[in-house]
Amino acid sequence: MPSSSHPMTDTRLASLRSTLPALRLLTDPADLEHYGCDWTRRWTPAPLAVALPDSVEQVQALVRWAHAAGVAIVPSGGRTGLSGGAVAANGELVVSLERMHKVLGFDPVDRTLTVQAGIALQRVQEAAREHGLQYPVDFAARGSCSIGGNIATNAGGIRVLRYGNTREWIAGLTLVTGTGEVLELGRGLVKNSSGYDLRHLVIASEGTLGIIVEAILRLTEPPPPSHVMLLALPSFQALMQVFAAFRSRLQLQAFEFFTDHALRHVLAHGAQAPFAEMHPYYVVTEFSSDAASEAEAMAAFEQCMEAGLASDGVLSASDAQSAQLWRLREGITESLARHVPYKNDVSVRISAMPAFLEDTQALLAQEYPQFEVVWFGHIGDGNLHINILKPESMPAPAFVADCERVTKLLAEVLLRHGGSISAEHGIGLVKKPYLGCTRSAEEIALMRGIKAVLDPNGIMNPGKLFDP
């Protein structure tokens, strides 16, 4: 396999050009840097080259070439990942699917949309709306992330509470394996009990089993008109009680939380303040805007106010105001980017969330007194994002080392509560040392065995998820 100590040679590039003369291939240093990393920015990009195929046939041919030549491949979508899953730091060939961005077909009977894997999530959502339907997976990076990347990490987002993760909406996919074989998995069937469902093995496999080139996406009815409510909370302990109060009365589409630290960063980034004064914690929730739901929402709000679980609240009166309230939550990641945050993306069962929150808050207060910690997350589905901001004066290696020390302690807390070190960002390079706190040794051994079958030469995204 290629490594930093044995860089790839121009001879191999010449071989690839000879094998696929029509393949677009980038070797300019600026392109290598751009395509060789994701949003983690912790590794120095050092790919051999960047291949931009425009068809399944080109992908198949270049994988067969890489398999024969022993060249490692890093599949690349929108590169919005936060776990180092799209990093090419050791002379790998980056295979970007950005030229494979077409809608291939719509089936009005099956309500499915067939797309190439390089298409952006936002374009998929727009295509669904053109047919009077919706693709309900959604999150802030919708304009830049790709469907292939979403599938490879089983992306979640802000409406998992109502619609589930990406996995629930994949009716079929086409995979080019590590040997260059093309597999059609699922084929859009609603019922299919003919053996192992390999489609679900590929979902969340982070490009380690092959390259996802096409997908059949399930669509559903457009969402009903909705209201957004923002609540200010006086304490961290009130979170799950407020969630229980609203969930008992409403069919929630989303239930998100963030802290005053998060809000300050979003306000500094241009958002409008929702209340005259700051509060320690906030919840933004969404539900249908019919009269009955509005009445139940107000009843839940009054119940929380009377119990001292909420300090203030605002209910959207228009789509524009709903967008303003959602910006307070969706704008957090972008507003934190300049601070180079170290990110934890963890999950536990919703029933375990109160105890986990208590233990985690105590751990981070003890271990991170010198850092600003910004919390936010999808509390309604048990997913919490913890962002530790690097002080400007602190060298990045020392900052990362201290954060990794604490992540080991956090992994132990997750193990006690039966949680996962990665809820929706994948394992990649960042979370690889902690995989054993989420999966047993026997499970990891089975995963290695599955990879060996689909990728016997170990060329597909090597070093991600687990070591060779």
Q: What is the CATH number of the domain that holds 275?
A: 3.30.70.2190
207 close to 461: Cβ distance less than 8 angstroms: yes
Residues 116 and 47 in one domain: no
Residues 128 and 201 in one domain: yes
pLDDT at 174 over 80: yes
Domain boundary among 188, 218, 248: 218
pLDDT at 424 over 80: yes
Residues 21 and 83 in one domain: yes
| Residue with tokens 């398999």, as numbered in its chain | 67
Give residue 262's pLDDT band: very low, low, confident or very high (50, 70, 90).
very high
Q: pLDDT digit string (tens) for 341-390?
A: 999 999 999 889 889 988 998 999 999 999 999 999 888 888 999 999 99
Q: pLDDT digit string (tens) for 5-15?
A: 344 457 899 99
- Mean pLDDT to the nearest integer, 415-427: 91
Residue 467 inside a domain? The answer is: no
Q: Which residues of 228-249 are buried (b: 16+ CB within 10 A; e: fewer)?
A: bbbbbbeeeebbbbbbebbbeb
**Which of these, 81, 88, 71, 79, lies nearest to 8 by C-alpha position?**
71
What number of helices (H) and strands (E) belong to the chain?
15, 16
CA distance 71 to 458: 9
Q: What is the CATH number of the domain that holds 178?
A: 3.30.465.10
Q: What is the dihedral of CA 225, 302, 317, 232, to 10 degrees?
A: -100
46 close to 40: Cβ distance less than 8 angstroms: no
281 close to 256: Cβ distance less than 8 angstroms: no
CB neighbour class for 94 (10 Å; exposed up to 12, middle 13-18, buried from 19): buried
Query: Residue 92: CB partners within 8 Å, gap ≥ 6?
Result: 2, 47, 48, 71, 72, 73, 74, 462
DSSP string for residues in 112-128: EEEEETTSBHHHHHHHH
Residue 463 inside a domain? The answer is: no
Q: What is the CATH number of the domain that holds 361?
A: 3.30.70.2740
Q: pLDDT digit string (tens) for 27-79?
A: 999 999 999 998 887 899 999 999 999 999 999 999 999 999 999 999 999 89
pLDDT at 205 over 80: yes
Residues 366 and 419 in one domain: yes
pLDDT at 1 over 60: no
Residue 410 inside a domain? The answer is: yes
Lowest average pLDDT, out of 155-164, 312-321, 371-380, goes to 155-164
pLDDT at 191 over 90: no
392 close to 341: Cβ distance less than 8 angstroms: no
Residues 264 and 283 in one domain: yes
Domain boundary among 99, 117, 149: 99
300 close to 245: Cβ distance less than 8 angstroms: yes
pLDDT for position 211: 98
CA distance 191 to 112: 15
DSSP string for residues in 403-453: HHHHHHHHHHHHHHTT-BSBSSS--TTTTGGGGGGTS-HHHHHHHHHHHHH
Residues 197 and 275 in one domain: no
Q: pLDDT digit string (tens) for 102-118?
A: 999 999 999 999 999 99
- Terminal-to-terminal C-alpha distance of the chain: 10
| Whether the predicted model's global pTM rises above the 0.85 cut | yes
Residues 208 and 108 in one domain: yes
Give the domain range for residue 264. 226-333
Residues 237 and 311 in one domain: yes
- Mean pLDDT to the nearest integer, 278-292: 93
**Paired tokens of 98:** 């950005």
| Residue with tokens 């409403």, as numbered in its chain | 250
